[in-house]
Amino acid sequence: MGLTRVELENFTAFRSLKLDLCPGVNVLVGANGTGKTHLMKVCYAACNVSRNRGDDFGHKLVAVFLPSRRNLHRLVRRQEGVAGVATILVARGARQLKASFVSHLVASKPVPLRPSTFTADEPDDDAEERASKSMESVYIPPKEMLSNAPGFRSLYSNREVHFEEVYRDILDRAYLPALRGPIGNDGECLLEKLREAIGGEVAVEGEEFFLRSEQGDLEFSLLAEGVRKLALLWLLMRNGTLQPESVLFWDEPETNLNPKLFGVVTDVLLELQRQGVQVFLATHDYVVLKELDLRATAADKVAYHALYQKEPARGVHCDTTYSYRDIHPNAIADTFTNLYNREIRRSLQGAAR
């Protein structure tokens, strides 16, 4: 079972947000500063608490958001002269993870609620058994890390370096060895699709990643960044990180990826959700949205969450729809429609001369 609901009060850009999540693909759209990445990071931190029972939710929030001086209270929504209390609820069916912490106006050293795992009120035995399983999750950040991987984890562990922990985490997942034995026909089909797109398979020697093809081994530092992104997806599938009941968070998959490969990415994401992987996707790209719209079948579960801000004092709001045509507001489509109209006007003016 994946995540089913998230509620945020006075957290970063959100004054009050209550969002039901789709078990399939959750697409987050909105202008810059509307909290798409923040929403995914909160959910990712919650998954991490489920996966690592001894982890402190507050500590993970600090690690993935990296507020100044690592002060958790800086994640409380800023309101001039107002002392705020941030509350977070992430639900997984009947089980819920809750936390709250105060702003610096209330206490100089805020103390969060620190649940070690999801808690539930009288769940049935089957639901409890399913939800108590560790929730495997992976967060793919916009910046590609595999080409910079050698030595990074030891540096991160032993020195104060200003990197969000998602960059260390993604390398931990990427370095996992391949699963023993076959991964099933559906998985092999997806691996083959990615193998064709990147022109080979991924090999690891020491801490260095290589693309292995008929022409030999090519180090990742010499590959295009878009190819490295697809290669990472290949690795995560091959080593079993992306499996049924796992959660994939991908922030701006379109970054440095040629649009002709968006179809490959879309097919892979849709097939992963058919296999039981819950997907979160934050994007600013029209082609990504349209590829999802055109390639999804009636049986696919794709939810579009439009984040927007009418007035800064009221925080960020969210409207959810299961139809691309009903996304509102949709700044991406509006911008491309405006470009199209301007192109038509210029063409008509040229024809009239």
Please write the tens of the pLDDT for every residue from 282-336. 999 999 999 999 999 999 999 999 999 988 778 899 999 999 999 999 999 999 9
Helix (H, G, I), strand (E, B) or coil at 108: coil
Predicted pLDDT at 165: 97
Q: Report d(CA 237, CA 290) in Å as an integer.
A: 25
Q: What is the CA radius of gyration of the chain?
A: 21
pLDDT of residue 113 exceeding 50: no
Q: How far apart are CA 353 and CA 38, in angstroms?
A: 51
5-136+243-352 CATH: 3.40.50.300
Q: What is the pLDDT of residue 100?
A: 92
Q: What pLDDT was estimated at residue 129?
A: 53
Per-residue confidence band for 81, with pLDDT thresholds at 50, 70 and 90: low
When pLDDT is cut at 50, 70 and 90, the band that residue 118 belongs to is low
Average the pLDDT over 101-123 and give the result: 54
State yes or no: pLDDT of 216 exceeds 90: yes
pLDDT exceeds cutoff 60 at 108? no
Confidence category of residue 54, pLDDT binned at 50, 70, 90 = low
What pLDDT sits at residue 184? 80
Q: What are the distances in angstroms from CA 216 to CA 171, 195, 200, 340?
A: 24, 15, 10, 44
User: Is 46's pLDDT higher than 70?
Assistant: yes
Q: What's the CA gap between 258 and 260, in Å, rounded? A: 5
What average pLDDT score do residues 106-131 get?
48
- Tokens at 89, concatenated: 């609820």
How many Å from the N-terminal Cα to the C-terminal Cα in the chain? 63
Q: What is the pLDDT of residue 125?
A: 46
Strand 317-321, strand 302-308: pairing: antiparallel
Asked if the bond preceding 123 is cis, omega within 30° of 0, the reply is no
pLDDT of 163 strictly over 80: yes
The span from the CA of 317 to the CA of 16, in Å, is: 8
| Average pLDDT estimate for 208-223 | 95
Q: For residues 166-184, b (16+ Cβ closer than 10 Å) or e, as one string?
A: bbbbbbebbeeeeeeeebe
Q: Check whether 280 has a pLDDT greater than 90.
A: yes
Q: Other CB atoms closer than 10 Å to residue 215's CB: what's the count?
A: 9
Buried b (16+ CB within 10 A) or exposed e, 276-301: ebbbbbbbbbbbbbbbbbeebeeebb
Question: What is each CA distance from 192 to 76, 107, 219, in whole angstroms?
Answer: 45, 55, 21
Listed in sequence order, the residues at least 6 apart from 3 whose beta carbon sits closer than 8 Å to its beta carbon are 21, 43, 46, 47, 90, 91, 92, 247, 278
In Å, how far from its chain's centre is CA 151? 25
What is the distance between the alpha carbons of residues 84 and 80, in angstroms, rounded to a whole number? 10
pLDDT for res 71:
92
Asked if residues 139 and 38 have their Cβ atoms less than 8 Å apart, the reply is no
For residue 220, is pLDDT > 90?
Answer: yes
Residues 310, 275: contact at Cβ < 8 Å? Answer: no
Residue keyed to tokens 């947000």: 17
pTM: 0.91
For the chain, the average pLDDT equals 89
pLDDT at 335: 92
Q: Nearest to residue 186, comparing CAs of 268, 241, 261?
A: 268
194-209 pLDDT, tens digit each: 999 999 999 999 999 9
Closest C-alpha among 221, 295, 284 to residue 254: 284
Q: Looking at residue 50, what is its pLDDT?
A: 73
Q: What is the largest CA-CA distance in the chain?
A: 76
Least confident of 64-78, 92-106, 162-176: 92-106
How many other C-beta atoms can be found within 10 angstroms of the C-beta atom of residue 42?
Answer: 27
